[in-house]
Amino acid sequence: MRRVLIFLLLLVPLLVGRKSKSKSCKRTTFSRSTTNYEAWREQMTVCDLLEDYDPAVRPSGRTPYNDTKGAVVVTTSLNVRSISAVSEKNMEFVAQFRFRQEWYDDRLRFFTKEDTLIQSEYRNFEFIHVARDQNLWIPDTFFQNEKNGWYHYLNQENRFLKIRSDGKLIYDRRLTLHLACSMHLSRYPMDHQNCEIAFASYAYTTDDIEYVWDVPAIQIHEKANGALPNFEIASFKNGSCTSKTNTGIYSCLKVEIRLNRVFSFFLLQLYIPSSMLVGVAWVSYWIDWKSTAARVPLAIVTLLTMITTSHAINSNLPPVSYAKSIDIWVGACVVFIFFSLIEYAVVNYMGILDEHRQMRKAACNRSRLSNVIDNDNGFGESLQSLTFSPQEKKRLIRRRHKKSLELQEGEGDFESIEMTDCGPPRTAGHMEQGWTFHDTTDLVYIGQRKRVELVRWCSVLSSRGRAERIDIIARILFPIAFLLFNFAYWSIYLEDDEP
């Protein structure tokens, strides 16, 4: 029993040591006439190369151009197939690309000018394919801003590993990654975002692995923009992101991709509809202020619609601490619609006050006229003692002569009676006090006529009630204010902040 235990203890280290080595090849014999003779030749070459090969040990760093030992130089390149699913809420984007790495492993050379045996007809090919079950040393590359990802296996694993005759390895793999992208949304949706793809060695420092870019370093597929609904790839550039940590200096490379947001979508889906909602809210200024059932629902419906639109927009955006340009636009539209509701509250309040004042004034005037008619003998004295306007006095005199003064009951009847002047008609030369007619070709007269029209418009405005005057002013003031806001808004945000 003791001998069995000792044998097992000696056997375990041997098994563990063999586990790290590459899988041995099965030796077979083929003739030259066999169809897959070329493939068999390649695999036999790989078997010879992997005879004493340990994939756990990195290459020495020697190349055909530099025979000194050092760090393994890994030449990399990216072929971006598509960039899709840019998420502002999660601050990430999805990229599908082919990632290629090339390096030299002097243990895998199978063709040199000095070795005549290797130059034989059985090994005169330049590249050979490595089977998936044959283990070689591969750089432990990882993507620093990767959040999730996967390799492609349809229908077979989308990768290949080739060995060149001088010991150069080419490792190409297709993968899809969810990559973090730090976005600044202060100019959303007229912004652009700079996202990057950064990769480095996970365990090896620059003493062991050094990454360099191939030429060309980056290739963007011509249809890569087709998968982006709201963005387009404006530019890209490669760079270095080598960092120093407590454990050493790690070689790192990155690709910076600039994504410009397509603004036409937001123009058609947000800016134009919201502007129309603001215009619909202004329709209430042309509706009679007494039509409460028409004006209040119009303002409330447009206000709720704008608030709902704001919530729908923010549900797809992260909760940031700064104001976005779309927040300013939506907030301004909400304010304009809300002010239209406040304007009607003021108009309604002023209109009710005017009606009450007219009712009190009409009642007071009816009381005065009743006293004057009852006291017929003292009509002259009473007429002189009461404080009437000249028009009211003339009207009382006419009605006194006719003996048919009628007291009309109702709200504001007396105020609605037209006050006419019984004086002689004004001649053409005295249409307005201080103004005389001139030839229409006279420039002075044209300027005077414009001022007369302005004065006439002001007099018409002053003859209206306060509620109607507020509505008339709002019809002009609110559109002008909205146009000024648009001018300032688009002047600021349409200007590109970066070249």
pLDDT tens per residue, range 73-116: 999 999 999 998 899 999 999 999 999 999 999 888 876 545 54
In this structure, the answer to whether residues 315 and 339 fall within a common structural domain is yes
Q: How far apart are CA 142 and CA 211, in angstroms?
A: 12
- My answer on whether 121 and 52 are in the same domain is yes
Q: Which of 243, 262, 281 is the last residue of a domain?
A: 262
Considering the chain, what is the average pLDDT of its residues?
78
**Is the pLDDT confidence value at 225 over 80?**
no
For the stretch 243-269, pLDDT in tens is 998 999 999 999 999 999 999 989 999
Comparing CA positions, the residue from 358, 219, 344, 333 lying closest to residue 276 is: 333
Residue 65 has pLDDT above 70, yes or no: yes
> Residue range 313-318: average pLDDT?
90
Average the pLDDT over 137-155 and give the result.
92
Residues 288 and 253 in one domain: no
Non-local (6+) Cβ contacts of 89 within 8 A are: 316, 317, 318
Same structural domain, 181 and 256 = yes
CATH number at 272 reads 1.20.58.390
Residue with tokens 């090849």: 25
Among residues of the chain, what percentage have pLDDT more than 90? 42
Q: Residue 273 above 90 pLDDT?
A: yes
Q: Are residues 236 and 346 in the same domain?
A: no
- 359 with 472, same domain: the answer is yes
Mean pLDDT of 197-204: 95
Q: For the chain, report the end-to-end CA distance as a whole number of angstroms.
A: 81
Position 376 in a domain: yes
Q: Mean pLDDT over residues 205-217, rounded?
A: 94
User: Could you tell me if 414 and 360 are in contact, meaning their C-beta atoms sit under 8 angstroms apart?
Assistant: no
List residues bridging with 194 in a β-sheet: 258
Residues 399 and 486 in one domain: yes
Shared-domain flag, residues 57 and 182? yes
Is position 83 within any domain?
yes
**Is 233 found in the same domain as 297?**
no
Query: E strand or H helix at 296, and its extent?
Result: helix 292-314
Structural domain contains residue 214: yes
Q: How far is CA 17 from CA 14, 21, 205, in A?
A: 5, 7, 26
Whether 304 shows a pLDDT value over 60: the answer reads yes
Number of domains in the chain: 2
Structural domain contains residue 442: no
CB distance 98 to 174 below 8 Å: yes
- Range of weakest confidence among 178-182, 261-265, 492-496: 492-496
CATH number at residue 183: 2.70.170.10
Q: Do 203 and 117 have their domain in common?
A: yes
Tell me if 44 is assigned to some domain.
Answer: yes
| Residue 455: band (very low, low, confident or very high) from pLDDT cuts 50, 70, 90 | low
The answer to the question of residue 39 being in a domain is yes
- Judge whether residue 139 has pLDDT over 60: yes
Domain edge (last residue) among 230, 262, 294: 262
Mean of pLDDT values over 428-444: 47
245 and 282 part of one domain: no
454, part of any domain: no
Q: Which domain holds residue 29?
A: 22-262
Single residue among 242, 262, 282 that ends a domain in this structure: 262
Among 364, 400, 399, 368, which residue's Cα sits nearest to residue 385?
368
Residue 437 lies in a domain: no
Residue 28: per-residue pLDDT: 57
Same domain? For 344 and 221 the reply is no
Q: Does the bond joining 79 to the residue before it have cis omega, within 30 degrees of 0?
A: no
In this predicted structure, the answer to whether residue 447 has a pLDDT above a threshold of 50 is yes
Structural contact between residues 202 and 147, judged by C-beta atoms closer than 8 angstroms? no
Residue 38 near residue 18 (C-beta atoms within 8 A):
no
Higher pLDDT, 377 or 245: 245
**Of 91, 352, 84, 58, residue with least CA distance to 210:** 58
